[in-house]
Structures are given as C-alpha cells and as structure tokens.
Amino acid sequence: MKPIAIAADLGIRGVRMKISRFSEQGQSELDYNFQICMLASGSRGNAVYVSGGSTSILIDAGLSGIEIERRLNSKGLYPEDLDAILVSHEHTDHIQGVGVLSRRFNLPIYMSSKTEKASVSQLGTVRVIKNFECGSSFMIKDLFIHPFSISHDAKDPSGFTVNQNGTKIGIATDLGIATSMVKEHLKGCSLLILEANHDEDMLINGPYPWPIKQRIKSRTGHLSNEASKNLLKELQHDRLKYVILAHLSQTNNTPQKALSEVSRAITRCNAQLDVATQDECGALLRLK
C-alpha cells in the first residue's frame, strides 16, 4: 500500500500541515484504505465523507455549509482538508451546501453537465466545476470514481463507486428501482450505502397525498425496505464488511423496520448493518 498522510489540525486556521495521526488503538490511519462517515441522510439533507487518506471528498453536501463544517469538526475532520465535492443530482437535499463550501474552501465540484445546468440557481457563482459522464470513470487525485446512472426524477442522477488499492465502496440512494446495471456496478464492494426509504405499508397508509405516494413508489422515486433487502440479497459476498441504510423517510419508515427487513437479506456474509440518520453523524468507519 502506498504511503499516505492524514492532515491534522495544528490549531491555526489556514495554516495546516500533513502529518500522520494515530487512532486510540495505536493503529496508524496509514493502515486503512478508506474512512467513511455518514454526515447526514434523509430528505432534509445528505452528505457522506469519504477519505482514502491522501484524498478526501464529500459525496453530496445537502445541509448548510455551516452545519456540514460542524458535523465534520465533531468527528475531528476539517473542510480545509477536503479535495472535492462529488454531486449525485440537483435535488436540494443533496446540493444545498455545495456552492458555499466550494467557495469557502476552494473546492472543485464534480457533477454531470446536465446536473450542472439544473443546479445553476442553487450553486451560485463557483470557480471550478468538472463535468463527468455517467459510465465514464475518472480520478479525484488518488480515488478512482465510477459514476453510473440511477433511476430517479432528476436530470441525470448517479450512483458512485469509489475504489482505492483494490478496495471498493458503493453508494446508491435516491433510486426508484435497482436496475441490473446498478447491481453490476455495486458488486464486490466492501462497504455499501443503500437506500431504504420507506416501509411500503407505512407509505400506503400514511399521511402523504396520493400523487406523492405514487411518486415515491414509482420507478423514478425511492427504494423501499423490501427492495433494498432484495438488492442486498444479490450483492452480498464474503468480503462485504458494512452496509449502511440511507435516506430513510421520517414519516414512512423507522430505523427498526428498515434494519429488521433488510437484515433478513444477510445470509452469506457477516456484514455489519447500520442506519444513517438525519440529525446526527454516524460513526467514522475504517476499511482496509
């Protein structure tokens, strides 16, 4: 594994050095290929921190810039150490803080050109936007990114895999249906972030107006607990370490229902299953 350095806060804003940091267990962070933290997940804002050590990115930034900075800081992480923001689609819950963080910390934004066109008014003036195309891989410094199309009611929505040193993680939230292409891309991941938006009975019997219920259930809406379980049944393999259920509805789902339904998929591996929440960060997960 190639040497990496982790930035540590030296206490002086704007003056930072790259040094390696050691965890409480005495293990150097050099021992890990990835650190991942779900900063927020749900219809009021989504952001995932992904670090390969020498390269750190946000996947979506759908809270205010201040709140994302606060949540990073709560985990000993700093926006000054980020290298880029990668954007899945233009919905506000994925993009709200992108423009302000990009301006404040001079971060390039990676998004498709169609997503960029649909985001102009929300982003404001930003210095660097790099366009990707779904289906075409690219590097953000040391991270190998592969964006792939997902079925959702946005202009050009994408899921991502991120690969470093042969370790792969996958993220697919905001999708109405897991197509065979989605399944193909998410194969072989050590960590999966999968949507488990709603319990179907809660949605049908819940308070939403019928057109919104139809939109959520549609092929371009959101994945139910049951659909997430069926997807995980196909994706599990013995090197899968973590599965994080994401984008849970606060009206049409509960963490207990999501966990209980999706856990039934895990029969051929020992993956740890967890849910990401809206109001607080998840744990900082480390992956070899």
Interface residues with Zn ion (CB under 5 A) are 91, 93, 174
What minimum distance in Å lies between the beta carbon of 30 and Zn ion? 34
> What's the alpha-carbon Rg for the chain, to the nearest Å?
18
Amino acid at 74: S
Q: Which is nearer to Zn ion, 7 or 95 (CB)?
A: 95
Q: Which is nearer to Zn ion, 4 or 186 (CB)?
A: 186
Pair 193, 215: CB distance under 8 Å:
no
- Which single residue brings its beta carbon nearest to Zn ion? 91
What minimum distance in Å lies between the beta carbon of 41 and Zn ion? 9
Tell which phi-psi region holds residue 282, choosing left (phi > 0), alpha (psi between -120 and 50) or beta.
beta
What minimum distance in Å lies between the beta carbon of 49 and Zn ion? 17
Q: Which is nearer to Zn ion, 258 or 287 (CB)?
A: 258
**Directed axis angle between helix 113-123 and helix 98-105, to 10°?**
80
Q: Which is nearer to Zn ion, 103 or 155 (CB)?
A: 155
Distances (CA, A) of 109 to 74, 95, 103, 165, 171: 24, 11, 10, 24, 18
Q: Which is nearer to Zn ion, 4 or 40 (CB)?
A: 40
Q: Which is nearer to Zn ion, 83 or 174 (CB)?
A: 174
**Tokens, residue 241:** 């370490």
What minimum distance in Å lies between the beta carbon of 45 and Zn ion? 9
Q: How many CA atoms lie within 13 Å of 184's alpha carbon, on the beta-carbon side?
A: 9
What minimum distance in Å lies between the beta carbon of 222 and Zn ion? 8
What minimum distance in Å lies between the beta carbon of 151 and Zn ion? 11
Find the DSSP H helices in the chain: 65-74, 92-95, 98-105, 113-123, 180-186, 200-205, 210-217, 225-235, 255-263
